[in-house]
């Protein structure tokens, strides 16, 4: 199959592209190499992909550039491009979230709406739930985001639904719960914690560290993504969690054990936009996609630690 992956040079997008190539698909990647974090990291992700002859890369901004020349023969669209991060989504940078999350999605949907594609997969987020009214949280609770980021991601989910209803775009959405593993974004907690432990400096913990997250190892997130995209019947929204809800300070203990050092913790004020807890009810993905997360937290973190150690060599 020919697959279009937006955000292909990013954390999860590069893993999705890599797995698709490994499975024998061809991939057209789109990325604007935004400077939300060091674009050199994204270039390195893309370089690895470009070594595969089945991969081509287009440096485009979905919110501005035309992409119709890239869509010929595309069977499946994986839309992972976004401006991620809850904490940075307040204030003036909100414009960027509107462009990369809402406008980019609307323009992509416009570009594909008259074409025959098998599936349009939208990468959504647990951040649409905000402080959810129920744990584990099923897909059908009323989403009430607590960050501007969550609002833009939910708006884009609604756009996907509109294009499905009005133009028959075959949409499926996955709501990822905190994804981790090699190539994790530098603003994300585990990436920062591991760097701090390896470097021997303080870890900034937002709030009291008692907040819990359902952490999902990246290969599990990718597996669920491909299952949703390649299942002809899959439609609507699927939670994608890792099955390991844990408090942040307990996750730090796991890292201390793996790295063999004691963390120096600096507790700061809670940050606006962070949900207190997340926990995915993945029964829909289990029943309809046969999704079973297979990497436990200690093994997944061991892989991420090994990768981050390698970056320092
Ligand atoms: N990482 C997580 O834990 C997590 C959790 C929930 C949802 N998500 C979603 O998964 C997707 C991937 O997240 P990630 O963590 O890999 O982020 P990332 O920032 O590493 O990757 C996103 C990529 O999209 C690109 N991009 C942004 N705007 C673009 C535009 N207008 N045109 C072209 N490219 C553009 C960026 O340059 C970046 O490389 C996002 O949609 C995000 O909202 C991630």
Q: Is residue 311 part of a domain?
A: no
Q: Is 157 in the pocket of ligand 1 (CB under 6 A)?
A: no
Q: Is residue 270 part of a domain?
A: no
How far apart are alpha carbons 65 and 201 in whole angstroms?
Answer: 42
Q: Is residue 312 part of a domain?
A: no
Atom of ligand 1 nearest to the CA of 62: 32
**What total of structural domains would you count in the chain?**
1
- Residue with the nearest Cα to atom 23 of ligand 1? 7
Q: Is residue 68 part of a domain?
A: yes
Q: Is 45 in the pocket of ligand 1 (CB under 6 A)?
A: no
* pLDDT (mean) for 152-161: 98
Q: Is residue 84 part of a domain?
A: yes
Per-residue H/E/C for the chain: CEEEEECCCCHHHHHHHHHHHHCCCEEEEEECCCCCCCHHHHHHHHHHHHCCCCEEEEECCCCCCCCHHHCCCCCEEEECCCCCCCHHHCHHHHHHHHHHHHHHHHHHHHHHCCCCCCEEEEEEEHHHCECCCCCCECCCCCCECCCHHHHHHHHHHHHHHHHHHHHCCCEEEEEECCEECCCCCCCCHHHHHHHHHHHCCCEEEECCCCCEEECEEHHHHHHHHHHHHHCCCCCEEEEECCCCEEEHHHHHHHHHHHHCCCCCEEEECCCCCCCCECCECCHHHHHHHCCCCCCCHHHHHHHHHHHHHHHCC
How far apart are alpha carbons 248 and 156 in whole angstroms?
Answer: 29
Residues 65-101 have pLDDT tens digits of 999 999 999 999 999 999 999 999 999 999 999 999 9
- Residue with the nearest Cα to atom 13 of ligand 1? 12
Residue 238: predicted pLDDT: 98
Q: How far is the CA of 313 from the centre of ligand 1 (A)?
A: 27
Q: Is residue 154 part of a domain?
A: yes
Q: Is 74 in the pocket of ligand 1 (CB under 6 A)?
A: no
With 90 as the cut, is the pLDDT of residue 203 above it?
yes
Q: How far is the CA of 80 from the centre of ligand 1 (A)?
A: 5
Q: How far is the CA of 136 from the centre of ligand 1 (A)?
A: 25
With 70 as the cut, is the pLDDT of residue 139 above it?
yes
Residues 14-23 have pLDDT tens digits of 999 999 999 9
Query: Sign (positive/negative) of CA torsion 204, 209, 214, 216?
Result: positive
Residue 18: predicted pLDDT: 98
C-alpha distances (whole Å) from 152 to each of 53, 235, 249, 282, 301 are 35, 21, 29, 23, 30
Catalytic residue list:
149
Q: Is 228 in the pocket of ligand 1 (CB under 6 A)?
A: no
Confidence of residue 240 (pLDDT cuts 50, 70, 90): very high
Q: Is residue 164 part of a domain?
A: yes
Q: Is 307 in the pocket of ligand 1 (CB under 6 A)?
A: no
Domain that holds residue 80: 2-180+217-241+279-293
Q: Is 104 in the pocket of ligand 1 (CB under 6 A)?
A: yes
Best residue for ligand 1 mutational test, from 12, 14, 157, 273 (most atoms within 8 Å of Cβ): 12
Residue 313: predicted pLDDT: 65
- Residue with the nearest Cα to atom 6 of ligand 1? 125
With 70 as the cut, is the pLDDT of residue 196 above it?
yes
- Residue with the nearest Cα to atom 15 of ligand 1? 11
Residue 120: predicted pLDDT: 98
Q: How far is the CA of 124 from the centre of ligand 1 (A)?
A: 10
Cα distance from N-terminal residue to C-terminal residue, the chain: 38
Q: How far is the CA of 84 from the centre of ligand 1 (A)?
A: 5
Q: Is 105 in the pocket of ligand 1 (CB under 6 A)?
A: no
Q: Is 13 in the pocket of ligand 1 (CB under 6 A)?
A: yes
Atom of ligand 1 nearest to the CA of 126: 6
Q: Is 130 in the pocket of ligand 1 (CB under 6 A)?
A: no
* pLDDT (mean) for 177-191: 97
**Residue of 13, 26, 16 whose CA lies nearest to 62:** 13
How far apart are alpha carbons 181 and 86 in whole angstroms?
Answer: 19
Q: How far is the CA of 264 from the centre of ligand 1 (A)?
A: 30
* pLDDT (mean) for 259-264: 96
How far apart are alpha carbons 304 and 306 in whole angstroms?
Answer: 5
* pLDDT (mean) for 192-217: 96
Residue 115: predicted pLDDT: 97
Share of the chain above pLDDT 90, in %: 98
Q: Is residue 302 part of a domain?
A: no
The CATH number linked to 225 is 3.40.50.720
With 90 as the cut, is the pLDDT of residue 312 above it?
no
With 90 as the cut, is the pLDDT of residue 244 above it?
no
Q: How far is the CA of 292 from the centre of ligand 1 (A)?
A: 24
C-alpha distances (whole Å) from 234 to each of 7, 16, 115, 119, 284 are 22, 18, 19, 9, 10
Share of the chain above pLDDT 70, in %: 99
């Amino acid at each position: 199959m020919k697959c279009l992956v937006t955000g292909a040079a990013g954390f999860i997008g590069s893993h999705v592209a890599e797995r698709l190539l490994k499975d024998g698909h061809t991939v057209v990647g789109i990325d604007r190499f935004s400077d939300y974090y060091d674009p050199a990291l994204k270039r390195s992700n893309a370089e690895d992909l470009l070594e595969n002859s089945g991969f081509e890369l287009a440096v485009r901004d979905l919110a501005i550039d035309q992409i119709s020349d890239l869509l010929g023969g595309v069977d499946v669209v994986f839309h992972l491009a976004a401006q991620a991060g809850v904490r940075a989504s307040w204030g003036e940078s909100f414009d960027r979230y509107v462009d990369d999350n809402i406008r980019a999605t609307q323009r992509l949907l416009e570009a594909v709406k008259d074409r025959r594609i098998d599936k349009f997969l939208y990468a959504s987020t647990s951040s649409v739930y905000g402080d959810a009214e129920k744990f584990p949280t099923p897909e059908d609770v009323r989403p009430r985001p607590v960050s501007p980021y969550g609002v833009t991601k939910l708006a884009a989910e609604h756009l996907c639904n509109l294009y499905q209803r009005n133009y028959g775009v075959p949409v499926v959405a996955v709501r990822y719960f905190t994804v981790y593993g090699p190539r994790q974004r530098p603003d994300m907690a585990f990436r920062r914690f591991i760097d701090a432990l390896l470097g021997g400096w303080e870890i900034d913990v937002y709030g009291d560290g008692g907040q819990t997250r359902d952490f999902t190892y990246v290969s599990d997130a990718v597996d669920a993504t491909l299952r949703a995209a390649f299942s002809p019947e899959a439609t609507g929204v699927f939670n994608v969690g890792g099955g390991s809800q844990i408090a942040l300070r307990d996750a730090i203990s796991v890292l201390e054990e793996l790295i063999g050092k004691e963390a120096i913790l600096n507790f700061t004020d809670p940050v606006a936009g962070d949900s207190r807890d997340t926990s995915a009810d993945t029964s829909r993905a289990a029943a309809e996609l046969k999704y079973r997360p297979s990497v436990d937290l200690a093994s997944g973190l061991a892989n991420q630690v090994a990768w981050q150690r390698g970056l320092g060599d």
